[in-house]
Structure 1
Amino acid sequence: MKPFFRSLLAKYMMIIILAISLVQIGYLFIALFITGVSNTMDSPYTDEDTDFEKLEADWHQEANQIKSISDNNIAAHFAEWKEQYPDASMFWVDGENKLREQLDVSEELPDQWSSAYTANFIKERYDNDPFTVIAFLGNNQSNGFIVFEINREILQPPAQQANERYGVYLLAGMVLLILIFICISFLFFRGIRKRLLQLQEAMELRDVDGLPIQIDVKKKDEIGQLEQTFNQMVEELRNSREREQEEERLRQELIANLSHDLRTPLTKINAQTFKLAKKDLPRDSIESMKILKASVVNIDRLIENLMSYTLLMASKYKLDLQKTDIIRFTRESIASWYPVFEKEDFDIDANIQHFANNTWLIDPIWLNRVYDNLFQNVLRHAKHGKYVAIHTESTNLYDAIIISDRGKGMKDDSEQQGAGIGLSIVDKMVKGMELDWDINSSDKGTTIKIKRYKKDDSNKTM
């Protein structure tokens, strides 16, 4: 039960309950205040006096009962009603439409009433304020009419008067309580948002080891549990990284030791095959010796690729970028491979044209290794086509060195099918020199482009 009271749900429910309680208490307090004020308000009128329908009926009834129409009788009638309704005003317009008698009338009335004025007066007073009752004297229109007027507010009960007078404070109090609830809710959710943004920021930050930084857990609510889980995840990632690094170190040591152990017997095998090749052997034995020698060379090359790939993955293969004439470098590299391709009866098509800018920022050792691996792949996968082409291409976006053949493609099984380490080394080295490359291989041949984008020139110029 204790964790529930620490949760965000419990806190928000508490805010809701507090808001409802404040609204109810505030409403009750204001209602009691209005009731208290109404009790202190003295009113000369009873509940019977404030009945508008009864007042109107009494005025008509007494006006009908006046038989002797005179100024004195009308004045006495007005005086009698004035005692009961001190705040009222009354006046009499006789049958000749003349204003004859008036009592406490605040507005200026005309001495002579026309039909239009009378009709307009009745229209303005109908169901309006002040409350107005018009009655004919003696139930005869020829005697004229008497008018009784009093403000409606005066006849209202004290409680209603207090409500109308202080009701705005009740509304303002309710609005204030609602605003307080909104402010508390805003602060509550702003605090939640702030903590979530801090968690997001912690997820985006990286320590020196490239892992996220742990966050301080200050509360034990749902977000606190999320922060704690995040810290556990970071700790597990760090432990996993350490295990991975240790496994990588062991793997590199294993590959290095294995490569060294394999090279020793390979050297002996190579020496023995060299001795046997000098002897006078049968024709089939000579062919077997050639195959054995080629296999030894192939294994040695695979071991070398494995070592190079391991060094690249461990970032221990030093990169030394230099400004190099790529056209000259490529021609020299092809020249070193000419005898190899001629020995295998390859048709060599070299068409290397100058670029607008021949200077590339490369590591000569790395690029030479890239060329060696690509040419070795041509020998492995394209012996059937007996063709290799090296030429250049220049577009608005890039300059490229293109190596192509007419073999059966790299997907085709060959006698020297490898594990793809050579191309993995090419990918790592090309991208390490901030170049790009793509490969297109089919049963009609393979084309490889090594690209240098021209935007590099504009960036360097700037």
Structure 2
Amino acid sequence: MTIKTRLLLSYIAMTFIPIVLFALIATTLVSSLYKDVGAGKGMPLFWEASNQRRDLIAGVKFMAQTAPDRFTDHDFLKKTDEQLNRLQTGLVVMKNNNQVTFSSPFVESLKLNQPISKIQTNQTQNRWGWDRFSVEKYHTQFSDGTVGTVYLVSDLTPFFNEAKKFFPLLFLSLLLVIGLTNGILTFLVSRSFIKPLYMLKNAANQFKGGNLDHEVKLKRKDEIGELGAAFEEMRIRLKKSIHLQLQYEENRKELISNISHDLKTPITGIKACVQGIQEGIADSKEKQEKYMNMIAKKTEDMDVLIDELMLYSKLDLKRLPFHLEPLDIHAYLRNYVDELRIDPRMGNTCLTFSAANHSPILVMADREKLSRVLLNIIGNSLKYNDKPYKDIRLELLQNNEKAMVHIKDNGPGIDNESLIHIFDRFYRADPSRNTETGGSGLGLAIVKQIIEGQGGTVWAESQLGEGTSIYFTLMRVNTIETNSNH
């Protein structure tokens, strides 16, 4: 439920609930103040008396119009007056010149502050006086030709006495109902807003204090719930970001440690050779030449390591641009294998290339960086293959979306524990980090950065004693154009 809907319902409840409660309280007050119920009619005695009085007055009026001489019968007048007295009403009959022929003792007990004759001449029918009584008069003409007037005087004091209690209680109940209803509804509605806001405030304080494990779960479907979901998403992203930064920091420390180790090894060798020459250990031309060759090799190793490190750093920081262009990967691999066969390092190596389809296969790739990928993979196969006869096979596979290159050798293979780490930087299966094989630990890490930078993927499969397979994929041109059209 949205906040707008919640507020609208609370406004409606603040309007209708007091009305319903006020009606119930008013009914209860009437039943309690006028608690005598008459004759099974289900209404307060005062209302029943009012109905009876109305009926009697209507009968008196009818008699005044149809049988006026009955008002000269003293027994009839006394009997009628007794009935009216029970209903807080009295009867007065006058003839010519305001001559009172009958006056009810009830009317005399009211002690009116003005005579009936004055009321007759100056007041209207249904007159309310300050003494809280009502007077109704009906003109009639007797059989002897004289004119008369019948007065009915009702005492309303009982009603007003009860009204003095009823209306203040009714007013107080109205104030109480409105106050309680609005107070309770305001408390409930505000509580539904304030409680989650305090939870969000507490969460923000937790985040500020560095506790990103504090989850924000409001379990609401309104705007505040959406805000809580945004807080939770922010917490998760902050936690991941900080974890990534810590991981980057750890990787940076590891990188510095690895660089220091890999650079220190050739530098130590160079220093030893220089010291040997300086101290006269190399006392012959052959020894001096040997030392100089060792210095040259160590220097070359350092140069290769620094070049690969700079290349990896640029790839890792996304600062090395890729010049992607449509490339026939089938022709490119065939030409690359043909050129590589004449390399002196391939003297005892059989290098072959095969493809499932000899038709051109266009991919988006950077020629120069793709050459570096092949050089690193094949170079690793040559370095770590200790067999006298080396076999390296390149195979081109394809589907509708990607072209896949498979490079397999007949080397010693890699165990499963090491296989999952071979694309990590500075990783070598040799725990001693021996550089005699010429490996820097960055070759396959550079391969992964280049392939993924061109939208492809790379992985490895291997079994000990059966060789290693490296796979990488490249997006085909028709697939890229189809995706861009969509």
TM-score bin, normalised by smaller chain: 0.3 to 0.5
Q: What is the TM-score with the length of structure 1 in the denominator?
A: 0.46
Q: What is the TM-score with the length of structure 2 in the denominator?
A: 0.44
